[in-house]
Amino acid sequence: MRFDGVAFAREVKDIVTRIPKGKVLSYGDVAWLAGAPNHARQVGKVLAMIGKDSETPCHRVVNASGRCAPHWPAQHQLLHSEGVRFLSSGAVNMALCRWHPEDDLI
């Protein structure tokens, strides 16, 4: 089955849009939720295409260690103003702020 970039991009957008304020997901998490494990890099590509000015809150996506996008330092401030907690290392406190979708059903 060939990779469908369009459907994938749609999934990614849907998922990212659902991330609650004050929570974050990693690229790998988004890929997994989109039904495409091991496609973290493609998630980054989609977000790059979307752009930070769109409806989609791309700033709620960081890498697995909680670091912000390399070329987008302002992401840190955006998240901080939403209440996301950071570690002294400057990375997001993933243990605290990682979004678990199933939590919203309870």
Q: Which amino acid would we find at residue 87?
A: L
Q: Which is nearer to DNA, 19 or 44 (CB)?
A: 44
Of the candidates 13, 23, 39, 76, which one interacts with DNA according to CB under 7 A? 39
Max distance between CA atoms of the chain, in angstroms, equals 44
Residue 64: both structure tokens together: 């697995």
Burial class (CB in 10 A: 0-12, 13-18, 19+), 58: buried
Q: d(Cα 101, Cα 103) in Å, to the nearest integer?
A: 5
Site for DNA contains 22 (CB under 7 A): no
Site for DNA contains 57 (CB under 7 A): no
Report in angstroms how near the CB of residue 65 gets to DNA at its nearest. Answer: 6
Q: Which residues bind DNA (CB under 7 A)?
A: 3, 5, 26-29, 38-45, 47-48, 50-52, 58-59, 61, 63-65, 69-72, 75, 88-89
